[in-house]
Amino acid sequence: MAIAVDLAQVTYQAQDLGRMEDFLTAFGMTKSPGSDHKTLYMRGTGTQHHIHVTRLGDKQKFLGVSIEVATRADLDELAAMEGSSQVQQSIEPGGGYEVVMHTPDDIEIKAIWGRAKVEPIKDREPNLFNNIRDKNRVYDSVRAPIAPATVARLGHFVLHVTDHEATMRWFKDRFNFLDSDYMLPPGEDGPPIGTFVRLDLGEQLVDHHFALILQSDWVGIHHSAFEVIDMDAVMASHDYLVEKGFHSDVGVGRHLLGSQIFDYWKDPFGFRIEHYTDGDVVDANYQPSSFNGTASETTQWGNRPPLEFFQ
């Protein structure tokens, strides 16, 4: 199977690229070279050329996810699988090569390799935190202006699918995903209706989850999630986005599964998008657990989502 090493981008379609750019700039991204009147490419402070793409179209819709793999040989292996495209040159800025695939629900998943990296954008250092025992910040005050966060990277995505088991098989046949945690029907012992998956990079630490695959009666993306530098970035950016009149969805709070401090928003076209920080990191030895509570019980503290949040 192919070795996935990073979540490269999420891709959407919308009717007004200017409105999307205004929101994503306020959210903490930067416009990338190669954007034009038909396609908006937005980057974070990391080395991916772009992490969020919006194509101009007559209606808003989710178009797919791109996953970076380790080698060209990974693309060749994926191209040989039923339903895959041949290895082809990418027409997106940064170049490289790609293989286009579709899940059982016809969600487009691209594997990419060879895209040119970009220079990181310099950011401030994370604020140190003084807890009751460890005084890490001495003669150093915190000053967090009300301003956009600086989005560092695309961290994970959540897909609604009509057949959880078949979609999980599809992904695991193609990529090095390991199960991190299972979501069970509330109050029941199973079978799973959702699986958090992570990358298998051996002893290298990775995020608790790269994706959540969730059984549903509709198909599409629940949200895409972008990591910011620390909790002050989450909180100050929240106030900034409120001041700018954007639509707060759920947050701020701390997740149970993955532990992230989260803040969900809706972009101008109704797509859910998340700022997060302070998530769990694990390696290949981590063993899955199971959760059978409601959506609101996935929040440890803070603004709890409604019961229908994952429906």
* Lowest model confidence (mean pLDDT) among 47-61, 98-112, 284-298: 284-298
Question: CA-CA distances (angstroms) from residue 20 to 86, 101, 161, 241, 274?
Answer: 32, 27, 26, 14, 15
Q: What's the pLDDT tens digit per position in 232-272? A: 999 999 999 999 999 999 999 999 999 999 999 999 999 99
Q: According to the model, what pLDDT value does residue 110 have? A: 98
Instruction: Please report which helix (H) or strand (E) contains residue 74, including its range.
Output: helix 72-79
Q: What's the pLDDT tens digit per position in 179-214? A: 999 999 988 888 999 999 999 999 999 999 999 999
pLDDT exceeding 90 applies to what percent of the chain? 95
**Residues in a beta bridge with 54:** 12, 40
How much is the mean pLDDT over the chain? 97
- Whether the CB-CB separation of 78 and 86 falls below 8 Å is answered with no
Joined tokens for residue 242? 């409120």
Which of 228, 290, 288, 292 lies closest to 262 in space, CA to CA? 228
**Could you give the CA distance from residue 234 to residue 242 in angstroms, rounded to a whole number?**
12
Sequence-ordered list of residues with C-beta below 8 angstroms from that of 108, at least 6 positions apart, any chain: 11, 63, 64, 65, 100, 101, 102
pLDDT category at 220 given cuts 50, 70, 90 is: very high
Pairing of strands 177-183, 61-69: unpaired
Q: Is pLDDT above 80 for 311?
A: no
Average pLDDT for residues 290-306, to the nearest whole number? 92
Could you tell me the pTM of the whole model? 0.96
- Whether the CB-CB separation of 32 and 235 falls below 8 Å is answered with no
Average pLDDT for residues 112-141, to the nearest whole number? 97
Q: Is pLDDT above 80 for 152?
A: yes
**Could you give the CA distance from residue 262 to residue 58 in angstroms, rounded to a whole number?**
31
Buried b (16+ CB within 10 A) or exposed e, 80-106: eeeebeebeebebbbebbbbbbebebe
Q: Which amino acid is residue 284, in one-letter code?
A: A
- Whether the CB-CB separation of 106 and 45 falls below 8 Å is answered with no
pLDDT category at 309 given cuts 50, 70, 90 is: confident
